[in-house]
Chain A
Amino acid sequence: MRKLAGILSALLVGAFTSANADYALNMREGVTSTSQSVYDLHMIIFWVCCVIGVVVFGAMIYSIINHRKSKGAVAAQFHESTTMEILWTVVPIVILVSMAIPATSTLLAMEDTSDADMTVKVTGIQWKWKYDYVDGDASGISMISSLDAKHNEARLLGADADLSQFGDNYLMEVDNPLVIPTGKKVRFLLTAADVIHSWWVPDLGWKKDAIPGFVNEAWTKVDEPGVYRGKCAELCGKDHGFMPIVVVAKAPEDYAKWVAEQKSVAEAAAASADREWTKDELLAKGEQVYNTNCAACHQANGKGVPPAFPALAGSAIANGDAAAHISLVLDGKAGTAMAAYRNLLNDADLAAVISYERNAWGNSAGIVQPAAIKAAR
């Protein structure tokens, strides 16, 4: 028994000290006016519930202490009072109405996406996010944002992982964060490629589902530059827990710099799609694309997780006709987790990843040029 207690307390102490322990108790106030009014609403309801709780439980506890048989209490026999019944119907209604009023105005403000300064389209994909800047200076910038490779490695290690290296942000780091300017109303268009996801950054004050085939709208306006983290909030399969979101809010000048940078990168990529690639180039690029986009299911070693996710090593498609392989990746396979990558990856990336799949893990089926993808679209 004592030994058990020893182990338990060791565990407890260990757990508390291993991390930057913070016993967070309450909702975060966040960094937008929306998150602030949601926080205020939350506190109002909370205190109302507390007061009602004190009254109800107070009466009950008083009664429990004083009206017990062991204290010689004799039971009264009353069992009705219309006045009381009316009272405790009307009073809660009044309380509820007074809570509904601020809730309504907050809700209306949150749902008003008009007059936005810029628009970002967010697409949820098992298990990563794609961001497309639809308009404004950044128009045309597009990126896929997935769990940072180091974190991914650590979580696959299981019990052997050393999580202390990540500080507080274990599982909350991505390769390509979403970058937005401060002081601007950013409209989000949310959708999904496969299953339902939900885009949530607590500091912005809301979450909204990303539904395949439909587009939802939301907005935010962040005033302070900073890094804000969140997670996918709708169960979306195996790696739902590993689908973080990082938003970096930059002051307008820094944002403009970032946009310019991205544009030149994008231009280079576009140009490269038009030229002939060497095999080595394709395979090197392909491995990288594969590891961020495909390895979650088909695994880095190409062995997949049968029967849910087929092996690509030795697969008939990856060793057979290139056209069939291309069309499968472009259009996915309806009704399975295999999403259509047509709108998710560009020609060069697709050519690279397909070439990689056809040549890695003992496969040997030749390469595919970006031009072939363009033709197949």
Chain B
Amino acid sequence: MAHTGDHYYVPHGSHWPIVASVALTIGVVGAANWFNGNASGQMLLLLGLALVAFMMFGWFGTVINESLKGMYNEQVDRSFRQGMMWFIFSEVMFFAAFFGALFYARVLSVPWLMGADFSTHEYLWKGFGEAWPTNGPGNVGGDFQNMGAWGIPAINTLLLLTSGVTITLSHWALKANDQKNTVLWLAATVALGATFLGFQVYEYVHAYHELNLTLGSGIYGSTFFMLTGFHGMHVTIGTIMLLVITLRAAKGHFSPDHHFAFEGVAWYWHFVDVVWLGLFIFVYVI
């Protein structure tokens, strides 16, 4: 049967998914052992991650090849797009859980501990009167200073906002069939993402060494590091994905009207951007 563009492409059996399952399992078994204090865990975790990377190369490589061979018609393209959209939505909900924790602590549990709920304060935490940011009545993790908004975080906000612009410029260039500018603007986006990450690493070092602000600094430290940490992880993944499509753009993989990978990554990047804005406002500013 011919593989023209007007048929929905249903692939042949593939061994990548089972490789992926095995890789993930090895990774989590490693991580679990590591958490339990078994030295072998870290090696296993690394092995799992390496296998995941290998699997991604293989799986995405196959998909790219098929795409270049023209096996995907418009409908297949639409499936990919919708799939990506719903994936991003699921990521949004993942962050929602952590934002929910932040709001719950700030609006409910900390005020209760401080006396909004009379008996709790009166009978258990009489001395506690510290508003946000707080490490709780147990002074968990010791005194700390919170992270100001207007230094590095503000710069990082600008960086990410700018990167949202550069990736859009790249997209416009791609639509105008201007390969040189597509690649250029993409590279700029990668650079901005990487700079963001660099600053964030610096910020973390600063927090741990100078502010005594750690994951263990009560609810403030918990929400601060989990939110910014998961965000940072997503920026890392996003930057890697950007790097990949930069290389692919340089190889001429994308045409003005056929570039799902580009758009998928761009959406993802915008999502990371929007989450950051939420973070900036609710974690740093307010």
Contacts and interface: CB of A to CB of B under 8 A. Distances in A.
Nearest to A191: B124
Contacts of A207: none
A215 B123 CA distance: 8
A203 B277 CA distance: 53
A190 to B, nearest CB: 9
Interface in B109-142: 112-113, 117, 119-120, 122-124
Main secondary structure of the interface of A (DSSP, over half): strand
A340 to B, nearest CB: 12
A214 B137 CA distance: 12
Q: Which of A121, A189, A213, A217 has the most CB of B within 10 A?
A: A213
Contacts of B124: 191, 213-215
Contacts of A214: 112-113, 117, 120, 124
Nearest to A121: B123
Contacts of A217: 119
Contacts of A191: 123-124
Contacts of B123: 121, 189, 191, 215
B128 to A, nearest CB: 11
A213 B120 CA distance: 8
Contacts of A189: 119, 123
Contacts of B122: 215
A355 B249 CA distance: 76
Contacts of B117: 214-215
A214 B112 CA distance: 8
Interface in A174-225: 189, 191, 213-217
Contacts of B120: 213-215
Nearest to B137: A213
A215 B119 CA distance: 6
Interface string B218-233: 0000000000000000
12 contacts: A189-B119, A191-B123, A191-B124, A213-B113, A214-B112, A214-B117, A214-B120, A215-B117, A215-B119, A215-B120, A215-B122, A217-B119
Given A191-B123, A213-B124, A216-B119, 14 more contacts: A121-B123, A189-B119, A191-B124, A213-B113, A213-B120, A214-B112, A214-B113, A214-B117, A214-B120, A215-B119, A215-B122, A215-B123, A215-B124, A217-B119
Interface of B: 112-113, 117, 119-120, 122-124
Interface of A: 121, 189, 191, 213-217
